[in-house]
Amino acid sequence: MNYGSVVRDGVTLHYVECRAGAEQPWVIFCHGFPGLAYSWRHQLPAVASAGFNAVAFDQRGYGRSSRPTDPMLYDSEHTVGDVLGLMDHLGLSRAVLVGHDFGAAQVYNVTVRHPDRVMAVVGVACPYDFDLAGRGGAGANPPPGSAYPRAFARPDKAPSTCFAEVAAQHFYHMHYYQQPERPERELAQNPRLFLTRLFWALCADGHLLDWTRFSTEGNSYLDVLADPSIPLPWPWMTEQDLQTYVDEFTHCAPGLEFIGGINSYRVADRNWEIGRAWADARVTPPSLFIAGSADPVLQMIGDDALAVLARCSSDLRGIELIPGAGHFVQQEQPESFNRALLHFLDTLPARQ
């Protein structure tokens, strides 16, 4: 593997690449929260062995990349620009984009706004138009009287308003992150414990949604996350894996450990406004969706999310729900994930 960096608008993005050959197509991997380029450690060599060049980068606010503090520097215009800037740096006119969690929203945004730059797109864990700034496929101007059963992804209310309504009933992490300074301060007190509990809560064996038993008042995110029921190593994460995450998240000034994720939540309203111009757009390139069958994010979104994804996609070539995996499907079940991804890559025109 080779390491490099690209500077765009004063922000340095650190990346790792695994090349198959000068003329081979590229696959760009975009992580979410909590994540790093390291989150794709099982995919980069597998994709390169299959004849693609592969690259993953630490998002702005994470790892070895720059960590600006202004939330507005994390809006979708900036994160879309990060992908395009990396492509330009590598000399790519087009690439296959793979994105997990916040990275899924990112690659879908690139796809609908710059379809000429996207050979194909793979969303992981978060379906199209169900990110924190999405509208659940309702479009920019839904008919009067339309029902919006979800807590977020609505066209009629700003996301922060929706988050507050949920938080009036029980703890809700999306509302927690809207508060200035508090998340930075509280989560920085014990980054290792927070990462351990969050990784466990979101995996197939965890119980993230137990937060409904906690009130918003007086509780931090760390308070509502349970300790793992088994110690490390887990089947999908070693002690060294966790230590890598801890080291990379804390490679910063105090208080900036989780600024990338925190600010991605805080900019939800801004992204909702930006996204209005593309609210009726379809995902037109070849696409694939992969998620763990036990992913609590899918449980939060609702049963019709995958039907909406299919309706908004022109060339959806598969929906893969992988057993034995939660939110971190590419790490929890890497062999099954890679098999689905490589099969999809083999269907692309560049491989035929």
Pair 54, 47: CB distance under 8 Å: yes
Encode burial over 187-206: b for 16+ CB neighbours within 10 A, e otherwise.
Answer: bbeebeebbbbbbbbbbbbb
First to last CA, the chain: 27
pLDDT tens-digit readout, 132-186: 889 989 999 888 878 887 778 889 999 999 999 999 999 999 999 999 999 999 9
Give the C-alpha distances (Å, rounded to integers) separating 194 from 116, 168, 177, 295.
40, 24, 14, 19
Average predicted confidence (pLDDT) for the chain: 95
Q: How many residues does the chain have?
A: 352
Given pLDDT bands bounded at 50, 70 and 90, which one contains residue 351? low
Which residues lie across from 121 on neighbouring strands?
97, 287
pLDDT value of position 89: 97
- Residue 253 corresponds to which tokens in the numbers above? 């000034």
Pair 126, 307: CB distance under 8 Å: no
Which residues lie across from 319 on neighbouring strands?
289
Tell me the longest C-alpha to C-alpha distance in the chain.
Answer: 58
Pair 226, 197: CB distance under 8 Å: yes
Tell me how far apart the alpha carbons of residues 15 and 5 are, in angstroms, rounded to a whole number: 6
| Active site residues per annotation | 101, 327
CA 42 from centre of chain: 17
Closest CA to 251 of 240, 262, 259: 259
Closest CA to 308 of 99, 97, 87, 155: 155
pLDDT tens-digit readout, 193-243: 999 999 999 999 999 999 999 999 999 999 999 999 999 999 999 999 999
pLDDT tens-digit readout, 53-101: 999 999 999 999 999 999 999 999 999 999 999 999 999 999 999 999 9
What is the SS3 assignment for 312?
coil
- Residue 33 corresponds to which tokens in the numbers above? 């929260």
CA 315 from centre of chain: 22
pLDDT value of position 146: 84
pLDDT tens-digit readout, 294-341: 999 999 887 789 999 999 999 999 999 999 999 999 999 999 999 999
The pLDDT of residue 352 is above 70: no
Q: What is residue 231's DSSP assignment?
A: P
Classify residue 63 as left (phi > 0), alpha (psi -120 to 50) or beta.
Answer: left
Q: Is 153 exposed, middle or buried (0-12, 13-18, 19+ CB in 10 A)?
A: buried
